[in-house]
Amino acid sequence: MRFVRGLSYRASAIAGVATQFFFGLVFVMVFQAFARSGGDSIRAGLDNTQIASYVWLQQAFLALIMMWYRDRELLSTIASGDAAYELCRPVDAYFFWYARLLAGRLAGAALRCLPILAVAALLPEPYRLCAPPSLASGLCFVLCMALGVFLIVAITIFAYILTVLTLSPTAPFIFLTPVYEFAAGMVIPLPFMPDALQKILYYLPFRLCVDLPLRMYSGAIAAVDAPGLLLRQAIWIVLLVPLGRLALNRALRGAQAVGG
Amino acid sequence: MITVDNLRKSYLARRRSSGPGQALLSLVKPNRERIEALKGVSFSIEEGEVVGYIGPNGAGKSTTIKIMCGILEPDSGACLIKGRVPWKDRKTHVAGIGVVFGQRSQLWWDVPVLDSFELLRDIYKVPGKDYAESLEELVAALDLSSFLDMPARSLSLGQRMRCEMAASLLHRPDLLFLDEPTIGLDAVSKLAVRAFIERMNRERGVTVILTTHDVHDIEALAKRVILIGKGEILYDGAFDALMSRARDPSSASALQSEAPRASLNLEEAMAAVYGEMGIA
């Protein structure tokens, strides 16, 4: 249902595609200029053509991997104190919300990825999206991306659980987004952080959703290393889902729907 | 069918005077007050009854309804609905009841109403044939056919409320909780909704618990009312008797209006009752 609704927002999709295409182009050009001027260090193991692919994939699948996806309707329901009413239906609230958030992301990506990928594949070298170096890489990318999406929903659903407790639709996101972005290496790439910090962040799940699938595509992470990392993603999912479910049920039972 | 015994529930509410100084103080030392929403509520309702659950704002009506729906757990006391404890067997319990909360929609806002219905069918696991039959019946009874394919946000309030009523009955529950079902509706829609509720009760034997401030709804639908005020049940009996009591010329309670007691209209009579019971 959420998927169908997401698909119905045409204007938003068109605007989104245009925005992301623009950003993709800019990012690629910036990185290319940087590479040409000799800036080795930032590339973290990707060469010219790989950078372009990385950026384009990132843009095309942004809805799937970005942290700050907010389901506004759900948030306003929670903020108005009506979250408890979700329990009026014979469904498990956690899985209902999980499915809803997942579908919202999928709809966002489904609408936008094809146009962006299609055009990106047709651009002249070195700006264009290239095919993965091997079938194995391509497959790893798909699996990693899929698990990454499940993982990111399992992580971000905690923001919604916090919203149930605080009744603020913005505070949990304001708090969690920088934490996530920092831990995922989006502020400073992970290889640049102090060793001790790196070790800690290495074990947290954040980096496994954003950066990993994209690097698998370009082969920067060899296909042979993939199973270990995929397993890591799966383990985190298995840990976070029951935890989230427990937390949400506790929060909803305590949440006092306002009024007399 | 429903037995409620000595329910108690209290909330913690924060108190704070206005001003930035107080705001800062409350960060360090929050001033919380315990508000008793329910102080020992007891009643029982038989199958097939239509009961009006009335009382002034803040009396504890919504709290009781939430407990009966299974979404809130009382501090103490018992509640059995069809032999189940609502908050303990939540999913089974909720699968057999229908709810319409007038100020909250259970339809999805921007997809056609029919899509919402189909999702509810899946949520409540209604078998295909039963769903088709229910849908046909409800669409005919509430005259929904002309806007089933429109998103809820494009409907007028009257149309939306009729869709909500249909949505609450798709899975053929035998118990219906209606919280302000006619709020904001025009005269024609109100009559249509009332007629529909009466018909559901008469033809299908659906037990209805109606919470409303509209005394005309009560008069039209509920022979029995349970009046709650300040967390306590103050009256449980025939609505007519309650109104007669208010209109009794020998009654000593204060009146809001200048009109002679015997000719009080429904609202005035209700206000007189609240006044007499000290809960106005």
Structural domains in chain B, CATH included, are 44-96+174-277 (3.40.50.300)
Least confident interval from A16-20, B104-108, B133-137, B251-255: B251-255
A11 in reach of chain B (CB within 8 A): no
Of A85, A87, A256, the CB nearest to B90: A87
On chain B, the residues whose CB falls within 8 A of the CB of A252 are 71
Alpha helix (H) residue ranges in A80-194: 93-122, 135-166, 171-183
8 Å CB contact of B110 and A8? yes
Q: What's the confidence (pLDDT) of residue B49?
A: 94
According to DSSP, the residues that pair with A204 across neighbouring strands are: none
Tokens coding A8: 């119905």
Residue in B closest to A93 by C-alpha: B91
Interface test with B, best of A4, A12, A75, A87 (most B CBs within 10 A): A87
Asked whether residue A45 carries a pLDDT value surpassing 60, the answer given is: no
Of B59, B92, B109, the CB nearest to A260: B59
Asked whether residue A43 carries a pLDDT value surpassing 70, the answer given is: no
Tokens coding A150: 């499940």
Q: What's the confidence (pLDDT) of residue B236?
A: 93
Asked whether residue B144 carries a pLDDT value surpassing 50, the answer given is: yes
* A133 vs B264: which has the higher pLDDT: B264
**Structure letter (DSSP) for residue A130:** P
pLDDT tens digit string along B216-225?
999 999 999 9
On chain B, the residues whose CB falls within 8 A of the CB of A5 are 108, 110-111
Q: At what angle do helices B157-169 and B128-142 cross, to 10 degrees?
A: 150
Asked whether residue A93 carries a pLDDT value surpassing 80, the answer given is: yes
> For residue A9, with 0-12 CB atoms within 10 Å meaning exposed, 13-18 middle and 19 or more buried, which class applies?
middle
Backbone CA torsion sign across B171, B175, B177, B178? positive
> For residue B127, with 0-12 CB atoms within 10 Å meaning exposed, 13-18 middle and 19 or more buried, which class applies?
exposed
- Do residues A254 and A162 make contact, with C-beta atoms less than 8 angstroms apart? no
3-state secondary structure of B40: strand
- Do residues B215 and B267 make contact, with C-beta atoms less than 8 angstroms apart? yes
Of A5, A256, A260, the CB nearest to B111: A5
A82 in reach of chain B (CB within 8 A): yes
A246 in reach of chain B (CB within 8 A): no
Asked whether residue A41 carries a pLDDT value surpassing 50, the answer given is: no
> For residue A136, with 0-12 CB atoms within 10 Å meaning exposed, 13-18 middle and 19 or more buried, which class applies?
middle
On average, the pLDDT of chain B sits at 87
pLDDT tens digit string along A10-38?
666 677 777 777 777 777 777 667 666 65
Best CA proximity match to B100, nearest among B36, B177, B162, B31: B177
Q: What's the confidence (pLDDT) of residue B167?
A: 93
8 Å CB contact of A87 and B62? no
A47 in reach of chain B (CB within 8 A): no
* pTM across the whole model: 0.80
On chain B, the residues whose CB falls within 8 A of the CB of A88 are 69-71, 94, 99, 106
Q: What's the confidence (pLDDT) of residue A259?
A: 44
Quick one: which H or E segment has residue B163?
helix B157-169
On chain B, the residues whose CB falls within 8 A of the CB of A84 are 66, 71-72
Q: What does residue B178 show for φ and ψ, rounded to 5 degrees?
A: -120, 115
Residue in B closest to A80 by C-alpha: B104
How far is Cα B10 from Cα B52, in angstroms, rounded to an integer? 23
Q: What's the confidence (pLDDT) of residue A8?
A: 62
Least confident interval from A34-48, A72-86, B105-119: A34-48
Least confident interval from A12-21, A35-44, B91-100, B188-197: A35-44
A4 in reach of chain B (CB within 8 A): yes
Length of chain B: 280
Of A1, A5, A87, the CB nearest to B71: A87
**Contact residues for A14 (Cβ-Cβ < 8 A; gap 6+):** none
Domains of chain A: which residue ranges?
2-254
* A107 vs A45: which has the higher pLDDT: A107
How far is Cα A201 from Cα B27, in angstroms, rounded to an integer? 33
Asked whether residue A97 carries a pLDDT value surpassing 70, the answer given is: yes
Query: Look-up: residue for tokens 């306003």?
Result: A76
CA A89 to chain centre: 29
CA dihedral of residues A62, A63, A67, A70 (deg, nearest 10): 150
Question: Which ipTM value was assigned to this complex?
Answer: 0.78
Question: How close does chain A come to B194, measured CA to CA in Å?
Answer: 23
**Structure letter (DSSP) for residue B42:** E
- Do residues B36 and B60 make contact, with C-beta atoms less than 8 angstroms apart? no
Q: What's the confidence (pLDDT) of residue A83?
A: 78
The residue type found at A197 is: L
Q: What is the CA radius of gyration of chain A?
A: 19
**CA triplet A151, A152, A157: central angle to 5 degrees?**
105
Question: How close does chain B come to A245, measured CA to CA in Å?
Answer: 15
Q: At what angle do helices A48-60 and A10-36 cross, to 10 degrees?
A: 160
Asked whether residue B248 carries a pLDDT value surpassing 90, the answer given is: no
3-state secondary structure of B15: coil
- Give the mean pLDDT of A198-214: 77
Residue in B closest to A87 by C-alpha: B71
- Do residues B181 and B209 make contact, with C-beta atoms less than 8 angstroms apart? no
Of A1, A87, A260, the CB nearest to B115: A1
Alpha helix (H) residue ranges in chain A: 2-7, 10-36, 48-60, 62-65, 72-79, 93-122, 135-166, 171-183, 195-203, 207-217, 226-254
A10 in reach of chain B (CB within 8 A): no
Query: Look-up: residue for tokens 């070790």?
Result: A199
B18 in reach of chain A (CB within 8 A): no
Least confident interval from A49-53, A110-114, B147-151: A49-53
- Do residues B207 and B45 make contact, with C-beta atoms less than 8 angstroms apart? yes
Least confident interval from B36-50, B168-182, B252-266: B252-266
Q: What's the confidence (pLDDT) of residue A104?
A: 84
Q: What's the confidence (pLDDT) of residue B199?
A: 92
How far is Cα B71 from Cα B97, in angstroms, rounded to an integer? 13
Asked whether residue A111 carries a pLDDT value surpassing 80, the answer given is: no
3-state secondary structure of B175: strand
Of B62, B95, B110, the CB nearest to A259: B62
* A100 vs B110: which has the higher pLDDT: A100
The residue type found at A200 is: I
B69 in reach of chain A (CB within 8 A): yes
